[in-house]
Amino acid sequence: MPLPGEAAHRKLAPLIRINELREIDMSQRNPQHAGVMAVFYPDIELHTRLVLILRKTYKGVHSNQVGFPGGRVEEIDTSLEDTALRETEEEVGIPQKDIEVIKKLTRLYIPPSNFWVQPYVGILHQTPTLVPQESEVEKILEVRLSDFLNENSIITENLSTSYAREIEVPAYSLNGHVVWGATGMMLSEIRELLLKI
């Protein structure tokens, strides 16, 4: 299936981010690179779920935010897919060998942290035992696919961010958490793909 790409990202992007991305000269940014993984799996009742994480509170722009398992490229990684798989095992305890990577999504630039992020979609064929990485993960969120695809999960929220105060942002309401920004934008592309199946 063709990727919806930036058109899907924009549906969940704050207006301030859309304008910022238009004006950025990437040749001047020298961004770091990261890989993240959207993992779907069956729970014990055979409902499909998606893994998200609530990050710890720390001195950084993504403190206490919901995101995908993943992180920056390390020297041991041979590809961004390897990065996403390694970080997923570290952050939520899913063995890399158990994840079947089925789709490479559209990469996304995140201005506040100066990262190019490459997302992937993976599936598990069994219910995993999820273990949060104590140093980085506050909580693991196991989101039901039916809740994610429900149109009522898409909301508008007034938030203060690392780069603006009291701005209106499109977001998802999932498992009692507001999911917005880059994660919301990547979820938007995943949602569009799933709705076409």
Band of pLDDT at residue 59, cut at 50, 70 and 90 = low
Band of pLDDT at residue 23, cut at 50, 70 and 90 = confident
**Is the pLDDT score of 187 beyond 50?**
yes
pLDDT of amino acid 62:
46
Domains, the chain, with CATH or none: 6-196 (3.90.79.10)
71-89 mean pLDDT = 97
pLDDT tens string 133-153 = 999 999 999 999 999 999 999
DSSP string covering 48-82: EEEEEEEEPP-SSTTTT-EE-SEEE--TT-SSHHH
57-65 mean pLDDT = 65
pLDDT tens string 94-147 = 999 999 999 999 999 998 889 999 999 999 999 999 999 999 999 999 999 999
| Contact between 119 and 80 (Cβ < 8 Å) | no
Using a pLDDT cut of 70, give the percent of the chain over it.
94
26-44 mean pLDDT = 94
- 81 vs 37: CA distance, rounded Å: 8
Residue partners of 174: CB distance under 8 A and separation at least 6: 52, 66, 141, 143, 147, 148, 153
Question: Mean pLDDT, the chain, as a whole number?
Answer: 93
